[in-house]
Amino acid sequence: MLKRICFLFFSFLLTQACLPSENQGANDGHWIKDRVLNGYTLYTREKPQTSILPLKVEGIINASIDHIMENLRSVDGSETWTPDLIKKTTLKDIDPRTAITYSLTDMPWPVYDRRLILHNELKLDRERKLLFILSKSVPFPGAPAPSDTIEAYIGHANMGFRPVTKDQTYVELTAFIDPKGSIPHWIINFYQKSWPIKFLKALEERSQTHRVNLRPGLKPMLSELLQIMQWDKKTFDRVPSARP
């Protein structure tokens, strides 16, 4: 019944993004391979300092990176494809690559619905050649706080993308999510091992069927990533001068 705990993270993905930094509750120990599901590899921390497990997932999304990034950024229509998302709004647009957002996620009775207030920023990791999204919980005075809801906490939610081909994209996702409330930690950990893969599959389907042009504010970062990779921006292939 509590499977929707898995989707508390989904609402952050409907904005912009950020790069890995000091991740509360997830910066100790080493990643240990847990399982492979639907082509994605799931990892957990070896010795986390918290009873809620940080997670990492990596794999291939069968969709173009520009469609993926734009669908993650778009607010309109997000409820149609994001599991259990009731509402998503932008509280503040800071700049074309940064925003603070509010979302409300449906939870099964008798668990209260969860709300999230997140700071999201897009940055490029030039060394690793990944276009990263980082989201984290922040305070925001005056944000909606409906009765019978609980504000969940995201210490970090990082998603890194790199094109493999024009229609395939490598993704690396790490997250530390605490839904708060009185849900036992062992239940949270059990269900949180499945939510990243379910979300990535939903994102893949959305990006395959809803192809939209990347907005101008995000294009320069993708162009810079392709330049670092020595890829042609139109074909997503290595430029002739970079061939051996």
Average pLDDT, 10 consecutive residues per value, the chain (244 residues): 41 36 48 85 69 81 93 83 85 90 85 90 93 92 92 86 94 82 62 75 92 83 92 75 55
Element (H, E) at 115: strand 113-125
Distance CA(10)–CA(118), nearest Å, equals 11
pLDDT of residue 12: 35
2-215: in CATH 3.30.530.20:
yes
Domain boundaries, the chain: 2-215
Distance CA(225)–CA(161), nearest Å, equals 10
φ, ψ for residue 187, nearest 5 deg = -70, -45
Distance CA(81)–CA(118), nearest Å, equals 20
Q: Please count the other Cβ atoms lying within 10 Å of the Cβ belonging to residue 216.
A: 8
Name the amino acid, one letter, at 98.
T
The closest of 96, 95, 94, 114 to 104, measured between CA atoms, is 114
pLDDT of residue 211: 86
Q: Are strands 149-151 and 113-125 parallel, antiparallel or unpaired?
A: parallel
Distance CA(240)–CA(243), nearest Å, equals 5
Computed over every residue of the chain, the mean pLDDT equals 79
* Start-end of H helices in 32-133: 65-73
DSSP 8-state symbol, 154: E
